[in-house]
Amino acid sequence: PRPTVEAVELGKLERPQLVAMVQALRDEKESLLKQRAELQKALGTGEHGGDHPKRNYYRFEQEELLESAKKGEVRIRGPQIRAEGYTVKDSVRSDIGLTPDEGAKVEAIFARSTARVHDGLAALYQEIGGDPGSLSSQSMLEELRSKSLGSDYADAVRLLANVRAGLAAPPAPGTGSAISRAYFLFDAEDRRVIDELDALIGPARAEALLNHPDVGHSNNTFGVGPAPQGAKKP
């Protein structure tokens, strides 16, 4: 049986007990992250999602991007961070007019994107010395955030917000901190999924699909505030 995580004298524990305790802590963290995601989904918000009662899951509107850059925040959305597979519900198929073949291809688009995000985050997590093991994409993103150095996290959020709004040039591929590359990975996948859906079923149906109330999404807004006056741009 796995030991209960409680106050103990670590120096008296043998290595197998320490390994088991570390695993117990990771499992506990994974469970808490899943609970938080479920609560956010039920509330229809992310970290600061209350500012946006109606969400657009198709292409970002320029007004939203400029406002986000002004606030120093980015919205990470879509199903790619969810651990479970995505299935197109019958209500969505009917309302959007998807054929069985189109529905299967939509599911495949999301599945490929989810896998790419997970593999990309795992590579970044290994880069900073972590062991992805069986961690979910959400857990790895949290780990990358918590282990970021200095102002890397705030710089990453502000840079992506500015790039999205057209206020800054995108960084060269493979450059920047691990957390910055993680956020740009999500941004690239967001655009790629929309492009693939546009090509498959056309822009009008793609927009209707992504904004259908029966299509599940993650929806997290990460805000760090505007850069301090006089601060060097990331």
Exposed/middle/buried for 93, CB within 10 Å: 0-12, 13-18, 19+? middle
Contact status, residue 66 vs residue 165, Cβ threshold 8 Å:
yes
Tell me the C-alpha distance between 57 and 194, whole Å.
Answer: 9
Helix/strand/coil percent split, the chain, to 5: 60, 5, 35
Same structural domain, 12 and 78: no
Contact status, residue 127 vs residue 110, Cβ threshold 8 Å:
no
Same structural domain, 113 and 12: no
Same structural domain, 85 and 33: no
Same structural domain, 88 and 202: yes
Residue 191 domain flag: yes
Number of H helices and E strands in the chain, helices first, is 8, 2
Tell me the C-alpha distance between 62 and 69, whole Å.
Answer: 11
Could you tell me the two tokens for 200? 């498959």
Same structural domain, 72 and 181: yes
- Confidence (pLDDT) at 202: 98
Residue 231 domain flag: no
Same structural domain, 87 and 181: yes
Q: Mapping DSSP to helix (H, G, I), strand (E, B) and coil, where does residue 220 land?
A: strand
Residue range(s) defining the domain that contains residue 103: 52-223
> How is residue 75 annotated by DSSP?
E
Each residue's pLDDT, cut to its tens digit, for the chain (234 residues) gives 445 445 456 667 777 777 777 677 766 655 665 555 454 444 343 443 334 445 799 999 999 999 999 999 999 987 677 766 788 999 999 999 999 999 999 999 999 999 999 999 999 999 999 999 989 999 999 999 999 999 999 999 999 999 999 999 999 999 999 999 999 999 999 999 999 999 999 999 999 999 999 988 788 899 999 998 776 666
- Confidence (pLDDT) at 219: 86
Residue 228 domain flag: no
- Confidence (pLDDT) at 15: 75
Q: How many domains does the chain have?
A: 2
Same structural domain, 39 and 60: no
Same structural domain, 72 and 107: yes
